[in-house]
Amino acid sequence: MTDEIKVLCEANFIPEQSSAEQSRFVFGYTITITNHSTETVKLLSRSWVITDADGKTTIVEGEGVIGQQPVISTKQSFRYSSGALLKTPVGTMHGQYTMLANGRQIMVEIPVFRLAIPNSVH
């Protein structure tokens, strides 16, 4: 939780879009952002660090999430789903959101979460 903004991450493997022979592993993830502060916040931008099992890191940055810059009122949540493509069956993601609260920017950390095919150990 950063500045009373809580970020929960859930990931799942999407086998029907993946191909081990082509080193293509597709993962979906769902993020829930909950505003526990006393101020309304607006999500301005995101920065993701995606790392595969070979240690290759990709940085993804941009405005908002899924084409939106959601405004999250006090005690409310915003939930969205997106996806990531890896060349290995295991990896991680983490990052941060830049948000606007009462005229000031705040950085909200997105905790590390694992991307992995089921029953994989790494």
Helix, strand, coil % in the chain, rounded to nearest 5: 5, 65, 30
According to the model, what pLDDT value does residue 122 have? 53
Alpha-carbon distance of 88 to 67, in angstroms, equals 27
Does pLDDT of 102 surpass 80? yes
Rounded distance between C-alpha atoms, residue 113 and residue 27, angstroms: 12
Enumerate the domain spans of the chain.
5-116
For domain 5-116, give the CATH number. 2.60.40.1470
Range name among 3-12, 18-27, 74-83, 112-121 with the lowest pLDDT average = 112-121
Would the pLDDT of 8 be above 60? yes
- pLDDT greater than 90 at residue 1: no
Residue 25: CB partners within 8 Å, gap ≥ 6? 13, 18, 85, 86, 87, 88, 89, 115, 117
Whole-model pTM: value is: 0.91
